[in-house]
Amino acid sequence: MDYENINVWYWLIPIVVGVICGIIGYSMGKGNVDAIDNSAELQALHDKNSKLQSDLDVCNKKLIAKPSGSGNVSSSLAAAPTTKAMLTAFDAAAAKTAFGKTIIQDDLKVVEGIGPKIAEMFHGAGITTWKALSETSVASCQDIVNSGGDRYKVHESASWPMQAKMCYEGKWKELFRWQDEHRHGKL
């Protein structure tokens, strides 16, 4: 019996299998690098979206700031909701009915995602009322949160101005429904 030829196969088969596994592993690992590149692209798109949102907010403020006597129908229509909102007084009873707890006027913590520390950051930035928060751009909100360090950068502030506007306008049932539908910010 020729034992020398058998010993070659014991070595050759594991080497060939190892090379094939190495090639497959390299190919699969190379695919994961593309996923990391996509996250950078996603971040760039998120930044672009924040800038566009802030530009939109600036345009909306300019539209509302136009005098209604200019004859522009869209500016007078845009001014109407603002006037109505300014006439809305805080109704603690309606807020308590909707939320089942006492709500304090201009308490930023009513906005889903804002806790005591983030509320302090907004107060430090001069944003102390629902009205002020509702007029703040999403990008500015995120900048304030990011200024608190890495711990706070995970908070998503995209809906905070909208929620604050609902508070300011006394739309308590709508706010409660929105927060409930969005699982209190945990989609």
**Averaged pLDDT, 167-185:** 85
Residue 139 inside a domain? The answer is yes
Structurally, the chain folds into a number of domains equal to: 1
Residue 59 inside a domain? The answer is no
Q: To the nearest whole number, what is the mean pLDDT of the chain?
A: 80
Dihedral through CA 144, CA 149, CA 155, CA 157, nearest 10?
Answer: 10
Q: Which residue has the tokens 């002020």?
A: 132
What pLDDT, in 10s, does the model give residues 15-74?
999 999 999 988 887 765 544 556 777 777 888 888 888 778 877 777 777 655 444 444
Residue 186 inside a domain? The answer is yes
DSSP 135: T
Contact indicator for 61, 135 with CB cutoff of 8 Å: yes
Residue 4 inside a domain? The answer is no
Report long-range pairs for 144-148 (Cβ below 8 Å, ≥24 apart): 145/118, 145/121, 147/121, 148/117, 148/118, 148/121
Residue 180 inside a domain? The answer is yes
Domain that holds residue 120: 89-187
Q: How confident is the model at residue 119 (pLDDT cuts 50, 70, 90)?
A: very high
Confidence at residue 121, expressed as pLDDT on a 0 to 100 scale: 93
Q: For residue 54, what are its two tokens?
A: 């802030």
Residue 30 inside a domain? The answer is no
Residue 57 inside a domain? The answer is no
Confidence at residue 182, expressed as pLDDT on a 0 to 100 scale: 80
Residue 33 inside a domain? The answer is no
Confidence at residue 82, expressed as pLDDT on a 0 to 100 scale: 45
